[in-house]
Amino acid sequence: MQLMVARYNLEQSEHKLTELKVRQQELELQATQNALNASRQEAVGFALFLQSRNDLLEKIREMIKQGYKIPDQELVPHLKKINTFISQCQNNDKSNTTLLLNAEEKNQEFLQRLSELHPNLTQGEKHLATLLRANLSTKEIAMLTGNIPKTINMNRYRLRKSLNLSSEEDLTDYLQNI
């Protein structure tokens, strides 16, 4: 009878332990989900920032195209108008600067872990790793950095080599799991 009671108590303890493990996994899953949602919001904010930047550049481009058709005596006031427009956009850009600083702060932890794992990375490789971790494509990185996609691909190759990754391992997945 004592043996059966002991087994019952053992099963109850194991059941409680299993419940605690399940609860812990649920909490970990919730924390991961929250982190994922925060990352998505960051990505959406960054995408909106890029879109607004592209819209701004397109508007400036159109204003410059209009300048080609303007007679010489009206060109200087038109250029002043463009310059004023750019200044106004720079003054209204504070929210985007805050967005970039916030993203930079969140990436500091990542950069610290990356530096611990790979202390010989250059500043450029760390910057590329940050952009790749944000799941940006080669074209998007090229637009952000002002380089051509071929240069970005070469830099990705060098980063892969510095991280000692084989060609079968996905670079972006590796960086996101750091």
pLDDT in tens, 10-23: 999 999 999 999 99
Regarding the domain delimited by 93-178, which CATH topology (the fold level of the hierarchy) does it fall under? Arc Repressor Mutant, subunit A (1.10.10)
> 0.85 cut: is pTM over it?
no
Q: Is the pLDDT of residue 168 over 90?
A: no
- Interval 107-128: pLDDT, tens: 778 888 889 999 999 988 988 8
Torsion of CA 22, 23, 29, 31, to 10 degrees: -160
Residue 144, Cβ neighbours under 10 Å: how many? 15
Range with lowest mean pLDDT among 54-58, 124-128, 159-163, 168-172: 54-58
With bands split at pLDDT 50, 70 and 90, how would you rate the model's confidence at 162? very high
Across all residues in the chain, what is the average pLDDT?
83
